[in-house]
Amino acid sequence: MIAYGVDPFTSDAVTYYIKVSGVNLGTSYSLSWLPSPEDGFEGETGNNTYKDASDALLATEGQRISQTIGYGGALNDDWYQVRINSGDEGIVIEAYFEHTDATNIDIELYDANQQFLKRSIGTSNVERIHYTGGAGDYYLRVFGKSGGKPYDLVWNSYKEDDLEKAAEFDFEVKPETPDNDTPDWPRRLLDTDYNGNFYETMGGGPRPDLEFFLLEGQTQLDEDWYSVEVNSDEDIFIVDLQFEHAYGDIDLAIYKRAVTDISDPSIILEPAYLVKQSEGVVDGERIVLLDLDPGDYLICVYGYGIVNPKDSDSWSEGDFDPYTQDLLDWADYESIKEDGVDDYYDLAEETARGLGNSYSLQWVSSREDIYDLEAPELDPTVEVDDADASVNDTRVKAAVPTLIDEQGVVDAAVSDPEVRRTYTATNDSGDQVTVSYRPVYRYSDLAQFDEDWFEIPVDTGGDHQFFASIYYNNLHGDLDLYLYSQDGELIDSSPREDAFVESVEASGEGLTTYYLRVVGNNLGVPYTLEMRGYFDDDYEDNETLEEADVNAVIENLNGVTITGLVSRDIDLYRIYVPADQVHLDFSVDSPGIAFGLSVLDESGAELPSGFEESGRSTAGNDNLSMGVIAPDAGTYYLQVTATSGLTYGLTWTYNNIDQYEYDGPFAIADYYEYFNNNTPSDATELTRLRLEPPYDPDAAGPLDPIKELAFDYGLLSSLTLALPGMDPFGHAIQEADDWYKIQIPSWFLATAKKGNESVTVLKRDYNVRLSAEIEFMHIDGDINIEIYDENDLVNPIVRSETTNDIESVIASIDPLDAALNYYIRVYGDDRANDYSLKWDVSKQDAYEELEDENPLNDTNNFVDLAYDLTTANGVSTEGTWLHQIEYLLDVNGDGVIDSLDGGFTSKTGYGTQTTDDWYAVVVSEGATQLSVDVEFFSDNDTGYDYTPDDLDVDFEVYFLAGNDGDPTTADLRRPVLIGRSTTDTDESLFSSEGIEAKGISDDITTKITENGVFDVEESGIYFIRIYYDNRSHPYTFKWDDVGGDDDPVLDAAIIDDYVNGRWSIVIPSKLPGDEIENPYDNLDGDDYPNWAEYVLGLDSTVADLQIIEHSVLEIEGVEYYQFSFLRNVNAMGLGYEFTVQESTNLNFGSKQAVYYDKETIADTDLERVIYRSTKPIDDEPRCFFRLVVNEPAEQLE
């Protein structure tokens, strides 16, 4: 059986023929035929219900069913499965039929759950649904009054394109910005920054100009209007539109844009007018215009729905003008309603319609090149005005370019490969030098509008070589290059795709004429043609250091451009730089290919990151490398890597210029235009690139939780002073005072967990120190360094005036000031000594570092490494806030603080609570109480309610017990807890209501206080432990021993006994074989039996306790909570078991912390055991630890 669809809308009778064929053996058969209104979509079950919907349309997206399976017939309800494809955002459906009062067809759209979405129940011949929604399957219902009424149908899933928003120049695009659906709101394809969000240049940067660029993936759902410009020196304008006609007809129109009054755009000085339309019925439209008047033009891309008015017999070219007319006014389109009431179309469709067909657009406004004009033989210097794009489009009419090499020498033919030419130049040292070269012939500003043919004579009198190449931007369109003999035979070709260079070559002898043919997409793609009569340059072979030493020594050619070099492999050139030079620059000039540039030292090792290839320059086709070198004299090798076969020129130079005294954007032209940074007002700006946004929340309401922050902190490591991509400026020269300015944010935004909830919020991290360091050769001249803040440019914060080759200073930063400017002053003997400078900011406070040379002591995280806060400069620190304490500095670096340092003092600043911070003080004889006041600072405008461990700092006070008063003997001591901050007794510490404990309001203030007064029974060493949430809160505190005798000398002696280790936390060691006497007795009456005192390293004769320490541990950039405790090294050998459990809610089970490490305590029988949380802090923001010690089985017996 055969079912064949016929056209139900024809008004004339149609005769069909049925052919029966076989093996011609007289087989009998019967034949019947019957016209039927039943369509081919009904199937065995019929597509009359939702569950029996036909899926036949899924394979015909974008095409009318009349062109694929055949027309539909509305005998009853017809259901079809359609789809919004993944990544798309909507669907367009149109049905066509012949509407009468007695017959009608309507359509409805349902989702996969049979929920009604949209309906079209108009009174015209077309029903249309345009729906935007998520990807997935949908269902279309076709229904109506007439039995068997035929209809045509089309559907298309679409995604709106990147050019849909109307944007011109630096216009800010917002959600309410109109689409480019009218001539009043076009999308500009030139000079529009918004284009750079979607399109890139050849170098990977944003592309605001889209001329030549193939704009693929555009969607014709409505009229698309674009604005472009034609300049006065351009004589050819081309717009090329490509699409598949079967999926919807699209047409093209060009208009001269109206000229309006600058002060009042509503005043039209010159009205818009139609220049040309292209209304074909094939796959694509193309308009080529010559000699347009300069000015702005509009490109309109428009199309049609299931009914195309061009199919009408009455249609004439130009009947529809999209600038002034509306397709909805055409027959078959009026009265389309949704729900029979509202005009169905979206605003974007009130001026036109479309089926969402995809198209690509490419346009160019350019000028025909010199060889596309008038005559086949032209001097490039002759101006010709006649435009004729069909001159050099065949081999017979090939252009014969004048052969002028890079030094201006004119040749009759491509020269002999053995010819060496020379010219004289002056190098940067002022010497006259002779430079040899081989001729290269290069022709720029060519454009491929049709086939371009060139006739090239080669006459060497012997064997010859010929090499030709073209360079172009492949993003503008693909070009190919072919080489022919004088008889027209193809010799070589280069038809590569996605290439930027096409090259051909040949070898021969005697007089020869070659022909070059350039072909492409005829859109005026610009290209450069290069030719030469040799394959390799004069400096080959130079792939190794040894070869460069023989063949490529260019030591006297500094500042001179060496031309005619060939990029076929690695090229090395040997140079020499005299002493006291700090910068080495070299560049490669080529028709546009990017080269790999690097500098090698005399051993062949590539110079490190201080000198590396810095990428393409921003102007021309230079490949530019700028770098820093050591001021010592030395031999270097310049390495150029490329395989394109194109020629290049190389220029290199060196200098000892202090580029930090340079002002303004980098440009070769003003490379040596500097100003002096001798005063603060002329300071060189060194502020680092900060990507953190300013923190300025809306006071009217809280911030939304931040799930992810896309800060690219990797960019911070590439800080430069010039344009992005340029190398650092390196060494500076100290000839006078050099001032540098840095604006330091006191805080920056980071992410934090909100309590134990899985919500990420913004918090502040605070900077508290600024460090700066200079390095130089002291024997060449003394250089020193100071740091100031903007509030006092007379008195420095810190100073360093040593006799070393390095001067280093660290200044405190005020975390309460949002962004102070700090100034670095470099000064000295003014003997033009070169130096390098580096600086950094840190949230690590000064109290993490003790004044000894043992790197293991560079922390105050543990009680045995507490920071000595007893006295400063021989005066007690009692009653002085931590951040206000000033210490004398060893300015001259001789290791002694004396009168030679000038009495210079500097503040160490605020502390930051990132781990436990321990401070040691001395309570003097006669004191009855120890008072401690703590102030810390936190977010004051986040708008969040916090649980206690989000934003808090607490403190504890301990007494170091066990001092017998005899400094000649080693004491056994233990810190004994005296008390905690008084406000910690609040029972709501772990309130589930999300309210900060300690009576602090929900809107947390900037400054939060903790205080306590504790009774003391004896004088001696006391510890203040600052701890809690490890969130980098800056803090300060002051202490006072109430009633104590102020004796700084005695206090210093007492603390010296502690600092210099005249005590021990060791109890007499016991070997594993020894038994613990009376293990269950409690000799000192505290909470620990004798066996626990032993294994935990306590003193069984003194009531004391174990200090359990916690902090933050960082492993490969990931932070974990850390838990550590002390134990006797023999405890495990005696059979004691230690288990560290962890929990997020104090309900401990079988979950255990992760063992990390252990550290032996020198000269003791103790070891510190360190565990970490199983999950990072970012994944598990709250963690409780519990230490469980089990006795050996024999002890229990």
What is residue 1128's predicted lDDT score, i.e. its pLDDT? 86
Kindly state the tokens that stand for 1059. 């600092």
Confidence of residue 1132 (pLDDT cuts 50, 70, 90): confident
Average pLDDT, the chain: 78
The residues that bridge with 565 in the sheet, in sequence order, are 648
Segment 861-882 mean pLDDT: 88
Within 10 angstroms of residue 494's Cβ, the number of other Cβ atoms is 18
Q: What is the pLDDT of residues 353-383, one digit of tens each?
A: 688 899 999 999 988 887 875 433 334 444 4
Confidence of residue 980 (pLDDT cuts 50, 70, 90): confident
Within 10 angstroms of residue 261's Cβ, the number of other Cβ atoms is 10
The amino acid at 227: S
Kindly state the tokens that stand for 8. 């139900």
What's the distance, CA 704 to chain centroid? 24
Confidence of residue 660 (pLDDT cuts 50, 70, 90): low
Taking every pair of Cα atoms in the chain, the longest distance, rounded to a whole number of angstroms, is 136
Nearest to 1022 by CA among 994, 1042, 999, 993: 1042
Q: What is the pLDDT of residues 449-477, one digit of tens each?
A: 889 999 999 876 677 888 999 988 887 88
What is residue 558's predicted lDDT score, i.e. its pLDDT? 93
The amino acid at 327: L
The amino acid at 475: L
| In the predicted structure, residue 791 carries a pLDDT above the cut 80 | yes
What class, spelled out in words, does domain 545-656 have in CATH? mainly beta
Residues 6+ apart with CB under 8 A from 941: 697, 699
What is residue 906's predicted lDDT score, i.e. its pLDDT? 93
Report which listed range, 386-395, 785-794, 891-900, is most confident. 785-794
Nearest to 1110 by CA among 1177, 1036, 1189, 1191: 1177
Give me the numbers of helices (H) and strands (E) for the chain, helices first please.
4, 72
Say which residue, 832 or 200, is predicted with more confidence: 832
* Percent of the chain's residues with pLDDT above 90: 28
**Phi and psi dihedrals of 1067, rounded to 5?**
-100, 160
CATH of domain 370-532: 2.60.120.380
Strands (E), 790-910: 798-800, 806-812, 819-828, 833-842, 867-868, 871-872, 875-876, 886-888, 905-907
What is residue 387's predicted lDDT score, i.e. its pLDDT? 42
Residues of the chain with CATH 2.60.40.10: 1090-1196
What is residue 999's predicted lDDT score, i.e. its pLDDT? 34
Say which residue, 374 or 1024, is predicted with more confidence: 1024
DSSP 870-895: SEETTEE-TT--GGG-EEE--TT-SS
24: exposed, middle or buried (Cβ count in 10 Å: 0-12, 13-18, 19+): exposed
Residues of the chain with CATH 2.60.120.380: 1-159, 187-366, 370-532, 545-656, 680-843, 865-1064
What is residue 662's predicted lDDT score, i.e. its pLDDT? 53
| In the predicted structure, residue 756 carries a pLDDT above the cut 70 | no
CATH of domain 1-159: 2.60.120.380
Nearest to 362 by CA among 207, 473, 246, 525: 525
Q: What is the pLDDT of residues 1106-1129, one digit of tens each?
A: 667 788 888 877 889 999 988 888
The angle at the Cα of 178, spanning 177 to 181, to the nearest 5 degrees, equals 155
Say which residue, 601 or 144, is predicted with more confidence: 601
What's the distance, CA 715 to chain centroid? 8
Say which residue, 425 or 595, is predicted with more confidence: 425
Segment 1043-1062 mean pLDDT: 76
Report which listed range, 432-441, 628-637, 1024-1033, is most confident. 432-441
Segment 189-205 mean pLDDT: 77
The amino acid at 861: N
* Fold classification of 680-843 (topology level): Jelly Rolls (2.60.120)
DSSP 1063-1090: EE-PPPP--TTSPPSSTT--TT-SSS-H
Q: What is the pLDDT of residues 1027-1049, one digit of tens each?
A: 877 777 789 999 999 988 878 78
CATH of 865-1064, one of 2.60.40.1220, 3.60.21.10, 2.60.40.290, 2.60.120.380: 2.60.120.380
Kindly state the tokens that stand for 429. 């040292």
What is residue 492's predicted lDDT score, i.e. its pLDDT? 95
CATH of domain 187-366: 2.60.120.380
The answer to whether 278 and 256 have CB atoms below 8 angstroms apart is no
User: Alpha-carbon distance 201 to 211, whole Å?
Assistant: 11
What is residue 835's predicted lDDT score, i.e. its pLDDT? 82
Confidence of residue 1141 (pLDDT cuts 50, 70, 90): very high
Burial readout 201-229 (b: 16 or more C-beta within 10 A, e: otherwise):
eeeeeebbebbbbbbeebbbbbbbbbbbb
Q: What is the pLDDT of residues 6-31, one digit of tens each?
A: 666 666 667 778 888 888 888 888 88
Strands (E), 29-171: 72-74, 78-84, 90-96, 105-111, 116-120, 126-132, 136-144, 149-158
Q: What is the pLDDT of residues 97-136, one digit of tens each?
A: 887 766 788 899 999 999 999 988 877 788 888 899 999 9
Nearest to 1168 by CA among 1133, 1137, 1122: 1122
493: exposed, middle or buried (Cβ count in 10 Å: 0-12, 13-18, 19+): middle
Confidence of residue 628 (pLDDT cuts 50, 70, 90): low
The amino acid at 76: N
| In the predicted structure, residue 621 carries a pLDDT above the cut 60 | no
Confidence of residue 964 (pLDDT cuts 50, 70, 90): low
Dihedral angle computed from the Cα positions of residues 571, 576, 582 and 584, in that order, rounded to the nearest 10 degrees: -30
The answer to whether 1040 and 879 have CB atoms below 8 angstroms apart is yes
Confidence of residue 724 (pLDDT cuts 50, 70, 90): very low
Say which residue, 1008 or 876, is predicted with more confidence: 876
Q: What is the pLDDT of residues 681-715, one digit of tens each?
A: 888 777 643 333 333 333 333 332 222 222 232 32
Ranking 141-145, 358-362, 822-826, 1013-1017 by mean pLDDT, the lowest is 141-145
CATH architecture of structural domain 1090-1196: Sandwich (2.60)
User: Alpha-carbon distance 654 to 585, whole Å?
Assistant: 6
| Upstream peptide bond of 541 is cis (omega within 30 degrees of 0) | yes
| In the predicted structure, residue 217 carries a pLDDT above the cut 70 | yes
The answer to whether 277 and 252 have CB atoms below 8 angstroms apart is yes
